[in-house]
Amino acid sequence: ICQEYNLEPRDLQKIDTDIIINVPIIDVRQNRFICFSYRRLRNLVEYNRSIFFVPSSDKVLEEPIGIKDALHWEYVTQSYNRNVKYISKLYNERFINKKLNNINKIPFEFQITEINLETITYRLKLKINQLLNEFKNIREGAYTRITPEKLRELALLKEKIDKYKRNVELAHQSIIDVLAQDEDMIGMYLTDKRQRDISDHVQIELLLEASAKQMAEVRRSISDLSDSVHTLENATGFMLDALRNELIGFEIQINIITMGFGIGAFITGLYGMNLLNNFEQNLYAFYIVTGTTFSFISGIIILGIIRLFRYRKIRLHRSNKN
């Protein structure tokens, strides 16, 4: 491969990185080629051709960490193939099927660079739309009824959104890094290899700025989605706290009622211990003791519930008056 494409081993190391965990990079070799190493798109761009590196679906690699099984590996290879087909489709529609004089206006390396970045942005947008639909379904279910299954789905969704948010930020940063280096932008002129001034790179600079703007919009979308998930998580926590407070209040009410009847049972126990007070001979002793006991129990229960309702009121400002 190094001999066929005029590469060095360290150039292949930038392409052959981990399948699951990847830090996007645009590596420029001065007037030789441009290397794109993204999570689902890896290729070399020369002045007259573009070489794509696509994993084989026939052989399942066991080396990359994170590959679960053959189905997962097949999904990864299909993602690479879809990106290559999409790039081929855009190239044919934009530069082949239209008037041929358009080909001479833009160098080949700039054509492929623009389409590569558009493809990456397009795939990220599709994934964000998919995550947005999942979020809407979870939000509707969470506001209707909170279940452990909904909380589990929300946690998994938050994990996926954080993952793709990092991917978008890294992809955007890879374009910004090239824009920050004048030498790299000059080195991306593969067709026109003449000596250039340090600031003679307007064409590729405008192309990268447009791609960076599109990627920034995707980054804003995933950030807004992440904020919405965080808001839903907080709202779910507030609802669970309110439900927990209701349960605690109900438990305290039960305890107050139990305490009142416990006091009544204590009074009943005193009168059942053979105490000689000659009150037992009164014809109305039973009614008097029963009524007094129930009145005492009711007073204790009512007083406890009133105090409970008073303490449950949330006060943002407490007066200095007693």
**So what's the pLDDT on residue 220?**
94
139: pLDDT strictly greater than 60: yes
189 phi/psi in degrees, rounded to 5: -80, 90
Task: Specify whether the backbone of 110 is left (phi greater than 0), alpha (psi in -120 to 50) or beta.
Answer: alpha
Q: Alpha helix locations (H) across the chain?
A: 2-5, 9-15, 70-91, 108-144, 148-179, 182-187, 202-271, 285-312
Query: How do the domains of the chain map onto residue ranges?
Result: 9-244, 252-320
Nearest to 115 by CA among 50, 176, 55: 50
Helices 148-179, 108-144: crossing angle, 10 deg rounding: 160
pLDDT band for 303, please (50, 70, 90 cuts). Answer: confident
**So what's the pLDDT on residue 99?**
57
104: pLDDT strictly greater than 70: no
Long-range own/partner contacts, residues 296-304 (CB < 8 A, 24 or more apart) = 296/263, 296/264, 296/267, 297/260, 297/261, 297/263, 297/264, 298/260, 300/256, 300/259, 300/260, 300/263, 301/256, 301/257, 301/260, 304/256, 304/259, 304/260
Tell me the pLDDT of the chain averaged across its residues.
82
State how far the Cα of 271 lies from the Cα of 114, in Å rounded to an integer.
95
Instruction: Tell me if 175 sits within 8 A of 215, measured CB to CB.
Output: yes
Task: Specify whether the backbone of 274 is left (phi greater than 0), alpha (psi in -120 to 50) or beta.
Answer: left
**So what's the pLDDT on residue 266?**
77
9-244 is classed CATH 1.20.58.340 = yes
142-146, 202-206, 283-287: the lowest-pLDDT one: 283-287
pLDDT band for 277, please (50, 70, 90 cuts). Answer: low
pLDDT band for 121, please (50, 70, 90 cuts). Answer: very high
Per this entry, what is the length of the chain?
Answer: 322
Instruction: Tell me if 258 sits within 8 A of 301, measured CB to CB.
Output: no
pLDDT band for 271, please (50, 70, 90 cuts). Answer: low
- In sign, the C-alpha dihedral spanning 59, 64, 166, 50 is negative
State how far the Cα of 239 lies from the Cα of 260, in Å rounded to an integer.
32
User: Measured at the alpha carbon of residue 216, what is the angle toward residues 211 and 217, in degrees to the nearest 5?
Assistant: 100
Residue matched to tokens 């099927």: 97
Question: Percentage of the chain with pLDDT > 90?
Answer: 24
280: pLDDT strictly greater than 70: no
Model's pTM, two decimal places?
A: 0.74
